[in-house]
């Protein structure tokens, strides 16, 4: 009997630890996290009343709760109302982690099977979209701490690793490794940095400090062309000098035809 009691107590402890936070706690965390992501945030009340990204995530928490409890039509109705008010379209079936922040927010689209981890920051114009009609998982997974720049499109059932940065207007169609920075169409990894995640307790928002691989490639090509042009000019001078020397020598020796340079 004692063992049974202890076993039951252990089960209750495990259940309580594994139980996810309620909707109200999630909303409180969503509001509180803004001050660590946006220097313009001046207070919780102002944030709550004026940030469309906060309004969108609040409505989504409600819609997602309805969706998970099989109230599908009310969930879709709440989602539609949220889009009407905020211009942010989050499917009620999408899984959104804790302390999620959408800055500015306009034009953000998150699909039904998308999974967003904790402490993710997203800017306006971002799409987490699908590329298949097949049932099941069709949308991306963003792990904890990801930053997605404005206008980026992340498509398909791929995974963006923790603390990764997606450059603005990038199109991501392949899995992104942890701590990477990707840019371009299609997006390619241009940088990896495992120490940039936080500073002073705040998330590092320096997502504009992104290398320019195309510019670097053109700069290398320009340097190479300049080097080859200088080398060619030097060779031309040598050939011209050799030709003049040979011509002068031919005149002195009475050669019938000018020398040929091979």
Q: How crowded is residue 183: how many other Cβ atoms within 10 Å of its Cβ?
A: 23
190-229 tens-digit pLDDT: 866 655 555 455 565 555 556 666 777 888 888 889 999 9
| Three-class SS state of 244 | helix
Q: Name 165's bridge partners.
A: 147, 181
Q: Given the DSSP bridges, would you call strands 188-192 and 180-183 parallel, antiparallel or unpaired? A: antiparallel
Supply the pTM of this predicted model.
Answer: 0.68
Write out pLDDT tens, residues 6-35.
Answer: 444 444 333 334 466 788 888 888 888 888
């Amino acid at each position: 009997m004692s063992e049974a009691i202890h076993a039951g107590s252990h089960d209750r402890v495990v259940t309580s630890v594994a139980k996810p936070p309620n909707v109200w706690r999630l909303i409180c965390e969503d509001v509180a996290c803004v001050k660590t992501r946006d220097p313009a945030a001046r207070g919780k009340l102002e944030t709550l009343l004026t940030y469309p990204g906060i309004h969108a995530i609040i409505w989504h928490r409600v819609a997602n709760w309805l969706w998970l409890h099989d109230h599908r039509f009310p969930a879709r109705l709440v989602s539609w109302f949220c889009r009407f008010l905020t211009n942010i379209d989050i499917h009620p079936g999408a899984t959104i982690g804790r302390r999620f922040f959408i800055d500015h927010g306009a034009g953000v689209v998150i699909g039904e099977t998308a999974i967003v981890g904790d402490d993710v920051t997203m800017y306006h114009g971002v799409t987490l979209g699908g590329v298949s009609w097949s049932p099941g998982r069709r949308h991306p997974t963003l792990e904890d701490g990801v930053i997605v720049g404005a206008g980026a499109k992340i498509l398909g059932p791929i995974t963006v690793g923790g603390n990764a940065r997606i450059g603005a207007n990038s199109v991501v169609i392949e899995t992104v490794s942890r701590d990477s920075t990707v840019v371009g169409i299609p997006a390619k990894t241009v940088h990896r940095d495992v120490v940039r995640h936080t500073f002073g307790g705040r998330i590092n928002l320096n997502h504009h400090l992104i290398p320019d691989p195309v510019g670097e490639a053109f700069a290398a090509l320009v340097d190479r062309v300049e080097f080859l042009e200088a080398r060619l000019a030097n060779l031309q001078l040598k050939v011209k000098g050799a030709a003049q020397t040979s011509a002068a020598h031919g005149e002195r020796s009475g050669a019938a035809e000018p020398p040929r340079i091979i």
